[in-house]
A = this chain, B = another copy of it.
Amino acid sequence: MSIFPRPQPPAACADCRLRQTQGFQPVTEEELACIQAFRSGTRKVAAGRAVIAELGDPVNLFTLYAGWAFRYKTLSDGRRQILNFLLPGDFIGLQAEFANTATHGVEALTDAQLCVFPQSGLWDFVRRNPKLGYDITWLSASGEQVVDENLVTVGQRNAAERIATLLIRLARRAERAGLVDGDGAFEFPLTQQHIADALGLSLVHTNKTLRKLTQLGLHEIRDGRLRIVKPGALAALADYAARPLRPQPLI
């Protein structure tokens, strides 16, 4: 029995656990019905397995309901770049939808539960409910912002700054997703290899730098959980100006 349960999405979207949190925008009854009608099912993906294969034609869109995942791209010689991490509520598969073929893979970082939507139904869904189409644009634009940030991090920051930036941003997003518990810690399923691949660093250098930050007392990783110990110091290192994360649409 895991300490991090991964509940299956309920049959009725109205009972969605995520919608009961502050992290997501409210919807009308009618919108909820549209979303429910659009959803074709649910799926469980085990940790380490593909949600979307890096090559091949995707046929589904997903909303991550529980667990963690990440988007990545691989070069032909095996080098892998993690583009971003996905948390509950994130919408998956849009880029592929508009490229008609997957341009990146999505892998489950933990066991994950997903809501499934048929790719072929997207246009119809948007046509019937422009507001939800607008929400999808919102999600797409905000996904791009996350990647923008990551590009700045990888392009301009040194190793310590990169790690500080990653930790602090994940903590913010985990907070919005309601994953942070009473003592300020949250599940942190990334291995150092994931961190390295996300930040464009070697595994060894990632380890040494992470260790340095730990010894400075900036953060703690124990039992698969991360706690930010000195938010101010980490934020300074990351050149991070806190702005409140806004609730996001949930499809």
Contact = CB atoms under 8 A, between A and B. Distances in A.
Contacts of A149: 73
Nearest to A201: B155
Nearest to A161: B75
Contacts of A140: 137, 140-141, 144
Contacts of A138: 98
A74 B13 CA distance: 41
Given A126-B134, A239-B75, A81 B155 contact: yes
A59 interface: no
A81 B156 contact: yes
Contact of A75 (B79, B127, B152): B152
A133 B76 CA distance: 36
Instruction: Report the 10 A-B pairs with minimum CB-CB distance, sorted nearest first.
Output: A155-B200, A144-B144, A140-B140, A81-B152, A79-B156, A98-B141, A81-B155, A130-B130, A137-B137, A147-B147
18 contacts: A76-B239, A81-B155, A94-B137, A94-B144, A95-B142, A97-B141, A98-B137, A98-B138, A99-B142, A103-B145, A126-B130, A136-B137, A137-B137, A137-B140, A154-B154, A154-B200, A155-B198, A155-B199
Interface of A: 71, 73, 75-77, 79-81, 83, 94-95, 97-100, 103-104, 123, 126-127, 130-131, 133-134, 136-138, 140-145, 147-152, 154-157, 198-200, 239, 246
